[in-house]
Chains A and B, each alone.
Chain A
Amino acid sequence: MSNPKLLEVCNLRVEFPTRRGTLVAVDDVSLDISAGEVLGVVGESGAGKSMTGSAIIGLLEPPGRIAGGEIRLEGRRIDNLPYTEMRKIRGRQIGAIFQDPLTSLNPLYTIGDQLIETILTHLPLSHAQARDRAVKLLEDVGIPSASERISHYPHQFSGGMRQRVVIALALAAEPKLIIADEPTTALDVSIQAQIIALLKRLCREHGTAVMLVTHDMGVIAETADRVAVMYAGRIAEIGPVQDVIKRPHHPYTIGLMGAIPTMTHKVERLTQIDGSMPRLNAIPKGCAFNPRCPKVFDRCYRDRPDPMPAGSGLAACWLVEEKAHV
């Protein structure tokens, strides 16, 4: 392929050893992101989407650990790097935006201090140059009177403004990839629209790739180029965003799309997927979706499907293979 992959994740497996046995939070996940691309990762709580993000950036909370697979950034393996090496990559090559902008900023330092520290850690600049860059970044993310605001503390900002500061921090060292974990979930809908527009604009201008982790399909539809739908630690379906939304192949994706209330047409009842996602200690044998699947058949209880070509993407469902044979 002519377009080199920026990030490649192959067969990633994340485990949590507990007293009652090992829980597999992410199981055999493979995905890739090209330079400048926005990959949406969507799923319900406990699907493993945030875990995948944390594993890539090397911030898995112990006892969680990467138990298998490879993560490559521009062809270089980063999943087995020592802590100090990973620190150099984090921030410089991979930036991060988390859900709650209040907890990702240190309340005891001004936002200027935090921005300048990040810039000085990663870029060969003097303190004065770093400060200029920090002001420039704050202007870039749409914070009014940035040169005054730079000496303010996080509590003096509103939620939306704080998230702008966090985006400025993530962009401070011009990383090639940003992992954005539910960046707009804590925000009101009008502020959410502002932040999404900002993120899209900045990534286009800087050519930054984004892995956008969210449970909100609407945000994905607006922002992402491709989308990976996760279920019970595995990828159920991955493909171009329009195809996955309009012509989903996996029964879980089909159910998920029908379960979202829309404003374009009023329906009496929403499509309902009965039951809920299995807990990590009780993932069914075969396809993890089999207890809830309306189209389940005997093979689903026996064998676990891997993602296979379906339309323009991949779907992990035996039905896809059945259809191909017919």
Chain B
Amino acid sequence: MSKSNVPMLTVTGLKRVFDVSAPWLNRVLERKPRTFVRAVDGVGFSIDKGETFSLVGESGCGKSTVARLIVGLYEPTEGSISFEGVEIGPAAERAKHPDIQGRMQMIFQDPYASLNPRWRVGDIIAEPIRFRRLLKDKKALDDRVAALLTQVGLSPVDAAKYPHEFSGGQRQRISIARALAGEPEFLVCDEPTSALDVSVQAQILNLMKDLQRKLGLTYLFISHNLAVVYHVSDKVGVMYLGRLVEWADTQTLFNRPQHPYTRMLLDAIPDLDMSGRARVPVAGEVPSPLNPPPGCSFHPRCPFANERCKREVPKAIPVPGGAVACHAVEEGRLPPWKAQAAA
């Protein structure tokens, strides 16, 4: 099997269940049942080398849990994660491949919480290098840190400073430098710009694109902002209550969205170009993941739901450019999407 044909990352049937039961004593005394949240419920996708795959969805849909499962911060309850064909899902399997673990890194949302305030920036960035024993010599290490800082648009003298001396955007640059220090090929970015202002967000997104081109990085990009996702992604997956409801390449998803939830999301974005445009207000809210609706979890908010949607969980069916999990699409009773560009 040649390596080039295998996707960089393949996820199949990924599940993660969290036990959120009341403490044991309360359960015994108050006769409360055990409760579980199915944060991720059967998610599958694959990412090719050098591309950017985005997961998008509203809060609580499980997109961050997927990110954490992939980098190994959580262990999957079920399902497989394979990196270049090597299974790394269960923690025991992952432990056998420290080299693979080193080839993936994560960038977190909050640049104020993800940097140790007591460490100098140079030490923060050098940590992955020290941990993986990539460079032994002190001089080489300092040079590498200086090169990384320059690469993310900071100055080598910043290595001696502490994180509090930097603004949010600069801190996110430090996070990126730290992620790059271990020479990864695969970066999981969990809402890397949602804590930043728009002008700084543009800087970080441009930097990430430049680095991807220069270093041939592969990104899994997690965001709730569809405009940002449209800008950075090659492929997009839309999540709702722990399930992937639709995935497709970016142009297909944004120009011809199939799933009613994707359409609803696209319709809900405030648009700069159409001031005063009347939008179809979306009814309802995301149900509690503790007690998701049976069948298709979107059916209480879906204008096209019928009896089958309330009973049966839809399976993903391939459509041109991607796949969609919707009974209405399968049965062909969904009206065509009005092309946004024409409006």
- Asked if A242 is an interface residue, CB under 8 A from chain B, the answer is yes
**Are B270 and A267 in contact, with the CB atoms below 8 A?**
no
**Are B224 and A222 in contact, with the CB atoms below 8 A?**
no
Task: Choose from A158, A219, A256 the contact partner of B198 (Cβ within 8 Å).
Answer: A256
**Are A260 and B230 in contact, with the CB atoms below 8 A?**
no
**Are A219 and B286 in contact, with the CB atoms below 8 A?**
no
Chain B positions within 8 Å of A221 at CB level? 270-275
Chain A positions within 8 Å of B265 at CB level? 189-190
Task: Choose from A222, A242, A262, A270 the contact partner of B205 (Cβ within 8 Å).
Answer: A270
**Are A189 and B58 in contact, with the CB atoms below 8 A?**
yes
**Are B270 and A269 in contact, with the CB atoms below 8 A?**
no
CA of A245 to CA of B170, assembled, Å? 28
- With A262-B273, A266-B230, A272-B203 given, is the CB distance from A192 to B197 under 8 Å? no
B contact residues, range? 35 or more
CA of A117 to CA of B286, assembled, Å? 31
Least CB distance from B174 to A in Å reads 14
Chain B positions within 8 Å of A68 at CB level? none
- Asked if B279 is an interface residue, CB under 8 A from chain A, the answer is yes
CA of A216 to CA of B272, assembled, Å? 10
**Are A193 and B279 in contact, with the CB atoms below 8 A?**
yes
Least CB distance from B342 to A in Å reads 11
**Are B231 and A272 in contact, with the CB atoms below 8 A?**
no
**Are B268 and A264 in contact, with the CB atoms below 8 A?**
no
**Are A189 and B231 in contact, with the CB atoms below 8 A?**
no
* Residue of A194, A256, A258 with most chain B CB atoms under a 10 A cut-off: A194
**Are A245 and B272 in contact, with the CB atoms below 8 A?**
yes
CA of A260 to CA of B228, assembled, Å? 8
**Are B59 and A188 in contact, with the CB atoms below 8 A?**
yes
Chain A positions within 8 Å of B169 at CB level? 276
CA of A263 to CA of B233, assembled, Å? 12
**Are A269 and B198 in contact, with the CB atoms below 8 A?**
no
Chain B positions within 8 Å of A44 at CB level? 197-200
Chain B residues 191 to 241 lying within 8 A of chain A, measured CB to CB, are 197-203, 205-206, 209, 224-228, 230-231
Chain A positions within 8 Å of B286 at CB level? 188, 190
The chain B residue with its CB closest to the CB of A196 is B270
The chain B residue with its CB closest to the CB of A242 is B275
CA of A208 to CA of B72, assembled, Å? 52
Chain A residues 257 to 293 lying within 8 A of chain B, measured CB to CB, are 257-264, 266-274, 276-277
**Are A273 and B202 in contact, with the CB atoms below 8 A?**
yes
- Asked if B33 is an interface residue, CB under 8 A from chain A, the answer is no
Chain B positions within 8 Å of A305 at CB level? none
Chain A positions within 8 Å of B268 at CB level? 189-190, 192-193
Least CB distance from A144 to B in Å reads 10
- Asked if B276 is an interface residue, CB under 8 A from chain A, the answer is yes
- Asked if B320 is an interface residue, CB under 8 A from chain A, the answer is no
Q: A261-B228, A263-B271 are in contact. List 17 more A-B contacts (CB 8 A).
A: A190-B285, A193-B281, A193-B282, A197-B281, A245-B272, A256-B198, A256-B199, A261-B231, A263-B230, A264-B341, A268-B209, A272-B202, A273-B202, A273-B203, A276-B197, A276-B200, A277-B197
- Chain A residues engaging chain B, CB cutoff 8 angstroms: 44-45, 158, 160-161, 188-194, 196-197, 215-219, 221-222, 241-242, 245, 255-264, 266-274, 276-277
- Lowest 7 CB-CB distances: which A-B pairs, in order? A218-B270, A259-B202, A44-B197, A261-B231, A193-B268, A270-B202, A188-B58
30 cross-chain CB contacts under 8 A: A44-B199, A158-B285, A188-B224, A188-B286, A189-B268, A215-B198, A217-B198, A219-B270, A221-B270, A221-B271, A221-B272, A221-B275, A222-B270, A222-B276, A245-B275, A259-B198, A259-B201, A260-B202, A260-B227, A261-B202, A261-B227, A263-B226, A263-B266, A266-B230, A267-B231, A270-B205, A270-B206, A270-B231, A273-B202, A277-B197
